[in-house]
Amino acid sequence: MAEGRVKRISGPIIRAVGLKGAGLFDVVEVGEKRIIGEVVRLEGDEAMIQVYEDETGLEVGAFASSTGRPLSARLGPGLIGTIYDGIQRPLESLYRQKGVFMIPGARGEPLDSAKSWPFVPDPGLAEKLTKGEAVPVRPGMILGTIRETESIICRIMAPPNTLGGNLKELAEAGDYSCNAVAARTDRGEEIPFAQWWPVRIPRPQAERLSPDQPLVTGQRVIDVFFPLSRGGTAAIPGGFGTGKTMTQHAVAKWCDADVIIYIGCGERGNEMTDVLTEFPRLTDPRSGRSLMERTILIANTSNMPVAAREVSIYTGVTLAEFYRDMGYHVAIMADSTSRWAEALRELSGRMEEMPAEEGFPAYLPTRLAEFYERAGRVRTLNGMEGSVSIIGAVSPPGGDFSEPVTQHTKRFIRCFWALDRDLANARHYPAISWIDSYSEYAGEVRPWWEKVDPLWVRVRQAAMDLLKKEQRLSEIVRLIGPDALPDDQRLILVTAEILKDGFLQQNSFDEVDTYCVPAKQVRLLALIMRFHERAEVCIKLGAPLMKITGLSGGDSSSPIRERLSRLKSEIRNEDTDGFREFELEMENAMEDLERSYRGDGDDISFSGAHV
Looking at the structure, do residues 56 and 132 belong to the same domain, yes or no? no
Looking at the structure, do residues 230 and 329 belong to the same domain, yes or no? yes
Domain with residue 121: its CATH number is 2.40.50.100
Q: What is the pLDDT of residues 305-330, one digit of tens each?
A: 888 888 999 999 999 999 999 999 99
Looking at the structure, do residues 592 and 552 belong to the same domain, yes or no? yes
In a domain, 186, yes or no: yes
Distance (Å, rounded) from C-alpha 461 to C-alpha 472? 17
**Across 145-159, average pLDDT:** 94
DSSP state for residue 193 in the 8-state scheme: S
Domain range spanning residue 348? 207-442
In a domain, 514, yes or no: yes
In a domain, 611, yes or no: no
3-class DSSP state for residue 513? coil
Is residue 69 within a helix (H) or strand (E), and if so which, with residue range?
strand 63-70
The secondary structure of 20-31, three-state, reads CCCCCCEEEEEC
The secondary structure of 414-428, three-state, reads CEECCECHHHHHCCC
For CA atoms 149, 151, 155, 160, the dihedral sign is negative
- Counting the structural domains of the chain, the total is 4
Looking at the structure, do residues 219 and 191 belong to the same domain, yes or no? no
Nearest-10 Cα torsion for 142, 200, 397, 218: -10
Looking at the structure, do residues 292 and 424 belong to the same domain, yes or no? yes
Q: What is the pLDDT of residues 510-540, one digit of tens each?
A: 989 999 999 999 999 999 999 999 999 999 9
Looking at the structure, do residues 354 and 264 belong to the same domain, yes or no? yes
Looking at the structure, do residues 230 and 182 belong to the same domain, yes or no? no
Distance (Å, rounded) from C-alpha 226 to C-alpha 229? 10
Q: At which of 198, 227, 249 does a domain end?
A: 198
Looking at the structure, do residues 433 and 389 belong to the same domain, yes or no? yes
Q: At which of 181, 198, 215 does a domain end?
A: 198
Q: Is 574 exposed, middle or buried (0-12, 13-18, 19+ CB in 10 A)?
A: exposed
Q: At which of 198, 231, 253 does a domain end?
A: 198
Looking at the structure, do residues 568 and 500 belong to the same domain, yes or no? yes
Looking at the structure, do residues 248 and 170 belong to the same domain, yes or no? no
DSSP state for residue 213 in the 8-state scheme: S
Amino acid making up residue 393: A
Residue 106 has pLDDT above 90, yes or no: no
Q: Angle at the Cα of 423 (from 418 to 424), degrees rounded to 5?
A: 90
In a domain, 85, yes or no: no
In a domain, 607, yes or no: no
Looking at the structure, do residues 250 and 325 belong to the same domain, yes or no? yes
In a domain, 83, yes or no: no
Domain with residue 520: its CATH number is 1.10.1140.10
Looking at the structure, do residues 416 and 286 belong to the same domain, yes or no? yes
Q: What pLDDT is stored for residue 274 in this prediction?
A: 76
Is residue 317 within a helix (H) or strand (E), and if so which, with residue range?
helix 306-324
- What does 9-51 look like in DSSP terms, one character per residue? EETTEEEEES-TT--TTEEEEETTTTEEEEEEEEETTEEEEEE
Q: What is the pLDDT of residues 326-376, one digit of tens each?
A: 999 999 999 889 999 999 999 999 998 999 999 999 999 999 999 999 999
In a domain, 78, yes or no: no
Question: What pTM does this model have?
Answer: 0.93
Distance (Å, rounded) from C-alpha 109 to C-alpha 188? 27
Q: What is the pLDDT of residues 443-492, one digit of tens each?
A: 999 999 999 999 999 999 999 999 999 999 998 888 888 888 899 999 99
In a domain, 99, yes or no: no
